[in-house]
Amino acid sequence: MIRKSLILSFVSYGVVLSLGGCGKIENVQKLSTYNNYHDWAIYRGDQWGNQFSDLDQINVSNVHLLEPVWQYNTGDHTPRSLFQSSPLIADGFLYFVSPGGRVIALDAETGREIWAFDVRTQEMIDSGYSTVSRGVCYWEADGVGRLYYTMEMSLYVINAKTGRLVEEFDQDGILDLGENLGEDPTTVSVSATTPGVIFEDYFILGMRTSETFGSSPGHIRAWDARTGEIRWIFHTIPKEGEFGYDTWEWVEGETYGGANPWGGLTVDEERGWVFAGNGSPTYDFYGANRKGKNLFGNCVLALDARSGKRIWHYQTVHHDIWDMDNPPAPILVTVNHDGYERDAVVQMTKQGWMFVLDRNTGEPIFPVEERPVPPSTLPGEEAWPTQPYPLKPAPLIRQGFSEEDLSDVTPEIHATVSETYKRYTGVPMYTPHSLTPQVMLPGMSGGMEWGGASFDRKSQMLYVNVNEMPNLVDMFMVTTLVDDTGLSSENKGRLLYQANCVACHGVELQGAPPVIPSLQGITAKTDQELLTSIQQGKGIMPPYKNLPEDDIQALLAFLRDPSEKPMDRKSIQTKTVYLMDGYNRFFDNQGHPAIKPPWGSLAAVDLMRGEIKWKVPLGEYPDLVAQGIRNTGTLNWGGAVATAGGIIFIGATADEKMRAFDSKTGDVLWEHKMPYAGCATPAVFEQNGRQFVVICAGGGPKTPVRSGDAVIAFALPK
């Protein structure tokens, strides 16, 4: 449903004062003409996702002089918000999405606010609404810039100069993402955290879905970028008669979801192809209802950008039951291989691998072996008997966990993690989950994540940051609802909670703080606040717009009183499934990963030879530094950008620093303490002859550090 009446768009060419979604327009004036600039107008730097800048004004000889030149604060962060937006710069404007979901345009040289676009209702603002957005897509149509921005289940198209909706696009500038998905619009719930891409006049977008039973499919769609008319759809979960349909065992009455490229898309304009790296089908950790290889889950996809037809695919995990997504969109590169140039696709994974594939065929350039993996012991589950293992490049993280991996940074920490480990069993990678608690490594946080990597075409080096964070996995049997006839509201809510919420918030509503909040004792929240959070989503939680009102009321009744109620199971229809008791990361008692360091690293990989050139720790934990424990690395979110000046810029770390590394050696050449961690990918641009590096610094619980709202630009002194 289009909610045009809820749009609050406050526009000026001067200063906008925004408090609680309200604004005052002052000092209206036209921006001066900008010249001699070098833009960063595409998410991840270019259509290929290379995250590389040809600028060299800032280089290894002078980067130590870099200083902050302006800072802008959005004023709409919350104690648990995430700020992952990567700024775009075009025609002197700098665009980003705030933690509260506003699209904001600044003067790229000074940081002065030009306009802000806000679609939040007062109800959402009062409830502390926040969202996860990695930015906007910019496109010029007939000389007029447009921004394509997604929030919840809507796509908004905004005039890039004025901040007003482009009314000729679909319904007055707003498109409902629940339509044209090939499903009943009342039963789907999708959103998009990563910007789409433009090819010719096609706007192409991948979806974010929930990761539970009953989630929506993650199909890829293209619209007319001018009008919003649907152009094509590619079914990432194949329909009957389509390629890949026979890789599933279909169960009547089941809902099949996920298999979505939530990390974005890349484009080869010469070939007219669009590339996607898909995540796992749902439910992520138990697939008895989806036996088989499950195409196109966990696939690298090459599609015709004009028709959506499959050109080739390559599956990186068969029948994923570990949440081993392909987080970022594939990187398109040209490498010198065996004496000649070869166009390639690089897909990075949570397993710490990169699959380097021929761009024309999808065949691996470096050898990949299919190796046997253990069978599943959970009733009903049938793990796929083999998985692909790339031989080059080598994995950038450890794979599999044992007692020898337990952290020993201090004797006290080793004692606490050893005590926790007594309940668990360390297992090799690709060991299926069982009713015996396990330590899983790689965990759900990677390896590589959505921040992507930077590729230097001249040196053939790829620079990427990785995490090493184990997860504690407890599987348990639950009963889920098939027919609710004769069921009390509280018991219906319990079964709905088990089907939709327990995978994140846990069987005891305990959550996985600080990333996922506890739902225990939420009596201070009003029903309206809870309803808004469920329907609109909040932070990393996606919206659940597909839940009928009766189901939501039953869920609220259970959350208010989660105590066990008598249930006559003969009067209802249920089924048995196995779920994971929350996304529990294995931390020590001081909040550090419970594995031996390094916990976060930055690496340089020679793609010509498939070899790791160097790998260094990325970040430090201040409390350990105070004890003399250095160079541990930290959990890190957001990617790296390398430049022709021989520099790699990256924030990402829990110590709230922005760093510049020497791209040849991995040495730190400069660092700056920011007010918040820069858990986003920076942008590099030139304005009036001056090179800038800008990053959104907002920290957040995934790192975990405090949340914030700063946009900071760095440059050399004038």
pLDDT tens by residue, 482-491: 555 556 666 7
Q: Does the pLDDT value for residue 8 go beyond 60?
A: no
Q: Does the pLDDT value for residue 112 go beyond 50?
A: yes
Confidence (pLDDT) at 611:
98
- Residues sharing a CB contact under 8 Å with residue 612, sequence separation 6 or more, in sequence order: 393, 394, 396, 603, 604, 605, 606
- CATH value of 475-581 in 1.10.150.120, 1.25.40.10, 1.10.760.10, 3.40.1190.20: 1.10.760.10
Residue ranges of the alpha helices (H) in 524-612?
Answer: 527-536, 549-560
8 Å CB contact between 619 and 634: yes
At 42, the pLDDT band (50, 70, 90 cuts) reads very high
8 Å CB contact between 181 and 217: yes
At 18, the pLDDT band (50, 70, 90 cuts) reads very low
| DSSP letter for each residue of 646-700 | SEEEE--BTT-EEEEEETTT--EEEEEE-SS---S--EEEEETTEEEEEEEEEEE
Tell me the mean pLDDT in the region 469-474: 97
CA proximity to 663, closest of 84, 38, 53, 41 = 53
Q: Pick the residue with more confidence: 182 or 630?
A: 630
Q: Pick the residue with more confidence: 681 or 701?
A: 681
- Residues sharing a CB contact under 8 Å with residue 577, sequence separation 6 or more, in sequence order: 213, 283, 286, 288, 289, 477, 478, 480
Q: Does the pLDDT value for residue 35 go beyond 60?
A: no
8 Å CB contact between 699 and 705: yes
Tell me the mean pLDDT in the region 498-524: 72
Distance of CA 699 to the CA centre of its chain: 15
Every domain of the chain and the residues it spans: 195-397, 475-581
Checking 235-240 for CB contacts under 8 A at 24+ apart, the result is: 235/182, 236/260, 236/261, 236/278, 236/296, 236/297, 236/299, 236/301, 237/281, 237/296, 237/297, 238/295, 238/296, 239/182
Confidence (pLDDT) at 41:
97
Helix (H) or strand (E) holding 491: helix 489-500
User: For 268, phi and psi rounded to 5 degrees?
Assistant: -105, 100
At 286, the pLDDT band (50, 70, 90 cuts) reads very high
Cα–Cα dist 411/308, whole Å: 56
Q: Pick the residue with more confidence: 39 or 530?
A: 39
Cα–Cα dist 319/448, whole Å: 20
Confidence (pLDDT) at 511:
73
Confidence (pLDDT) at 91:
93
For the domain spanning 195-397, the CATH number is 2.40.128.630
Cα–Cα dist 686/554, whole Å: 55
Helix (H) or strand (E) holding 489: helix 489-500
Confidence (pLDDT) at 17:
30
At 545, the pLDDT band (50, 70, 90 cuts) reads low
8 Å CB contact between 44 and 452: yes
Distance of CA 539 to the CA centre of its chain: 12
At 538, the pLDDT band (50, 70, 90 cuts) reads low
Tell me the mean pLDDT in the region 638-659: 98
- Rounded to 5°, angle at Cα 454 from 448 and 456: 140
At 540, the pLDDT band (50, 70, 90 cuts) reads low
8 Å CB contact between 276 and 301: yes
8 Å CB contact between 288 and 380: yes
Helix (H) or strand (E) holding 412: helix 411-421
pTM: 0.89
Confidence (pLDDT) at 24:
27
Confidence (pLDDT) at 510:
77
